[in-house]
Chain A
């Protein structure tokens, strides 16, 4: 359990450290160091879990099992690579005068604050604390969305704040209902403790839990970006600094989905009606299809890819909703590859926007000719996210399709339709940006594309051949969530 405590402690230190010393020269590198150490800690934790199974801390405050440990590693990894990207990126923003030193200090401090909230969501064993941490994640990022202080960014941040705040309030109501159901069967002290509730799920009042789950899904669903509660997401992604978009898309959405799945496990334990699954399938499919259509109408490159995030989150929600071991396995895999690919894409998008000085799709042209790494990175990233073989996204989407055919064959045409439309929507916009002549005076920028390459390489690797330990890992998580092993 020690690495878990350290994992929580370090970002807390980071908040204070950057709050005090965030004005120093090499602050970006310090951030990389902080995130590097947490990545190491998360791997240490993963090894512990791998060797000895689920860990529950003294007093039942924290839990680390095969489901959340892989998300912890993913969070730490994306946090680390994004910090590598963000150091030169934010330095460049400061050079061109978009940011002052104080805002940079705020940025780094809140970056650590966000990471802390994410780790707390993942490791806590208390459903109430999970809510608190989720809200804290909003609060940490809301000032980062408005970091540039343009009218648009302030509007986006306000929208993000209000919509997520109101949305997540519903989740708290759901949590209160859950607590009410729980104190009927257990003592007050650990009535919100997930592991205790999970063991006694059969005793919980199924009707209360079903209603509670509806509220939870609406609440955390706002954070996932499920249609029709998605309005904040494209705005917040497009107006905030790009590293923020990368971690929002790659991490925050995952963690919100994680919260929903944890709750679904309780509801499924209490009732046989599968209502939680149906709700998730419905919302997921709706988000998937609506976002696919919206991809065609975007004018802003970051909005384009944030709609793509909504689309993929919808697909994952749908797959978790199906609930068979096979579908759960696919959803877990999809979560991983989507996070990696999407954060890689946002990194390249950030550089692309810096090259052309705008985020408007119509004005970004000739990326390959200007700076081949960025252009190819964006193109390959788009190929990967659109689900082309041999990337990992293809594998996971294929598994979701197979799982759907197994359980709900009549839904497969919708999925295929959505994938097709989304693919067309992405390529009609991306193609003119990467190919073509470069506009006059367009210059290459200083960019560190190692994170992109590493991410895409891993995604490729996962698509070609999944390593055994990872497959084992996913299988263990699947057993935990759905009760039995896939295949």
Chain B
């Protein structure tokens, strides 16, 4: 089925899937924390639009609720909290030197290919939009993990963690029009608590190692010292 034969909902979802993946890549290459958080908020906003559009297209009121929750959590609260911590800990001028950006980007690209490879066989009978949207959301999940591996700042790790959540949320929205409401609420609650805990941890970490560079947390390891 060519794209021009799809309805507008599918076209919008496909485009948003592509853009969400793009924001993941931008985050991957971003060394400045404030911009990283901004791009993260942007990704959240795309997610909200995707959810709202799905809610409108399928006339599904509970998706409006999850869109509203996502807007409040991932577009407003979490970016606001991260921004406040960055400014408070005076890290907004730091530029993180990413070692070997090219390799990271190539790794990211291969993760996208890998996601397609994983999900292709099971989607033989389903629509094109589902395969693409699901593969791209898996790619966003994996790219979030890559973001955590390649960055050293705890804040970047939190952004990676939350963008993994974004990928999951997108997958749930496009493949199944959202999880059942009670699960959706539970996940949102977990994310909220996790965000608050992350805030507490920033304070603990910065008071214990005097920075948020996770690489400096290396007291526990298997190698004999």
Q: Which chain A residues have a beta carbon within 8 Å of chain B's beta carbons?
A: 126, 128-129, 131-133, 135-136, 139, 142-143, 146, 149-152, 154-159, 161-162, 165-166, 169-170, 172-173, 175-177, 179-180, 183, 188-189, 191-192, 205, 207-208, 210-211, 235, 238-239, 294, 297, 299
Given contacts A151-B208, A165-B161, A176-B171, is CB(A129)–CB(B176) below 8 Å? Answer: no
B217 contacts A by Cβ under 8 Å: yes
Query: Do A176 and B168 form a contact, CB below 8 Å, given A142-B197, A165-B194, A166-B148?
Result: yes
In the bound complex, residues from chain B placing their C-beta under 8 Å from that of A129 are 182-183, 186
B143-166 interface mask toward A, CB cutoff 8 Å, 1 = contact, 0 = none?
011001000001001000100110
Q: Please tell me if B193 contacts chain A, counting CB pairs below 8 Å.
A: yes
Residue B222 at the chain A interface, CB threshold 8 Å: yes
Which residues of the other chain, B, contact A192 by a CB distance below 8 angstroms? 179-180, 183
Q: Give min CB distance, B195 to chain A, whole Å.
A: 11
Q: Which residue of A lies closest to B204 (CB)?
A: A154
In angstroms, Cα B220 to Cα A161, docked, is 15
| 8 closest A-B pairs by CB | A128-B183, A132-B186, A155-B217, A151-B208, A207-B122, A135-B190, A208-B122, A180-B175
CB-contact partner of B219 in A133, A155, A157, A173, under 8 A: A155
B194 pairs with A139, CB closer than 8 A: yes
B4 on the A face (CB < 8 A): no
Q: Are the C-beta atoms of B197 and A169 separated by less than 8 Å?
A: no
Please pick, from B119, B148, B208, B214, the residue contacting A211 in the complex, using a CB distance under 8 A. B119
| Residues in A neighbouring B161, C-beta threshold 8 A | 162, 165-166
**Pick the contact of B189 from A132, A149, A158 — CB < 8 Å?**
A132
Write the nearest CB–CB distance from A164 to chain B, whole angstroms. Answer: 11
| B187 interface contact, C-beta 8 A | yes
Pairwise interchain contact A191-B180, C-beta atoms closer than 8 A: yes
Which listed residue, A158, A170, A172, A173, touches B205 by the CB 8 Å rule? A158
* Complex-state Cα separation, A176 to B119, whole angstroms: 13
B128: interface (CB < 8 Å):
no
Q: Which residues of B contact A142 (CB under 8 A)?
A: 197
**Cβ–Cβ < 8 Å partners of B176 in chain A:** 176, 179-180, 183
Output the least CB separation between B141 and chain A (Å): 6
Q: Separation in Å of the B189 CB from the closest CB of chain A?
A: 7
Smallest CB–CB gap between B95 and chain A, Å? Answer: 23
Jot down 11 A-B pairs with beta carbons below 8 A, ordered by A: A143-B197, A149-B204, A151-B208, A152-B219, A154-B205, A169-B168, A173-B168, A176-B171, A176-B179, A188-B180, A210-B122
By the criterion of a CB under 8 Å from any partner CB, how many residues of chain B are at the interface? 45
B118: interface (CB < 8 Å): yes
Q: Does B46 contact A (CB under 8 A)?
A: no
Q: Least Cβ distance of B24 to chain A in Å?
A: 14
Q: Is the CB of B180 within 8 A of A189?
A: yes
Q: Fill in one digit per residue for B29-70: 1 if any A CB lies within 8 Å of its CB, else 0.
A: 000000000000000000000000000000000000000000
Q: Report whether B171 and A211 are in contact in the complex, using a CB–CB cutoff of 8 Å.
A: no
A162 touching B197 by the CB < 8 A rule?
Answer: no
**Residue on A nearest B201 in the bound complex, by CB:** A158
Check A162 against B157 for contact (C-beta < 8 Å).
Answer: yes
Within the complex, the shortest CB–CB distance from A377 to chain B, in Å, comes to 27
* B200 interface contact, C-beta 8 A: yes
In Å, the complex CA distance between A475 and B200 comes to: 47
B138 and chain A: residue at smallest CB distance = A173
Contacts of B217 in A (CB 8 A): 151, 154-155, 158-159
Q: For the complex, is B209 an interface residue (Cβ under 8 Å from A)?
A: yes
> A156 vs B190: C-alpha distance in the bound complex, in angstroms?
20
Chain A residues, Cβ within 8 Å of B183: 126, 128-129, 131-132, 192
Determine the chain B residues whose CB is within 8 A of the CB of A205 once the complex forms: 122
Most chain-B CB neighbours within 10 Å: which of A143, A162, A176, A183? A176
**Alpha-carbon gap, A154 to B205, bound state (A):** 7
Q: How far is the CB of A425 from chain B (nearest CB, A)?
A: 14
Tell whether, in the assembled complex, residue A166 and residue B164 are in contact, meaning their CB atoms are under 8 Å apart. yes
A249 to B217 alpha-carbon distance, docked (Å): 24
B71 within 8 A of A: no
Residue of B nearest to A170 (CB): B141
A189 to B122, CA, bound (A): 24
A126–B165 alpha-carbon span in the complex (Å): 20
In the complex, how many angstroms separate the beta carbon of B129 from the nearest chain A beta carbon?
13
Residue of B122, B168, B194 with most partner-chain A CB within 10 A: B122
Could you say which of A128, A158, A175, A191 contacts B154, with CB atoms under 8 Å apart?
A: A158
Whether B222 contacts A152 by the Cβ 8 Å rule is: no
Separation in Å of the A434 CB from the closest CB of chain B?
Answer: 23
Q: Which residues of A contact B171 (CB under 8 A)?
A: 173, 176
Contacts of B165 in A (CB 8 A): 169
Given contacts A166-B145, A177-B175, A297-B222, 11 further A-B contacts (CB under 8 A): A128-B180, A135-B190, A149-B204, A154-B204, A154-B217, A156-B220, A158-B205, A159-B220, A162-B148, A165-B161, A238-B220
With A179-B179, A192-B179, A207-B122 known as contacts, the answer to whether A169 contacts B141 (CB < 8 A) is yes
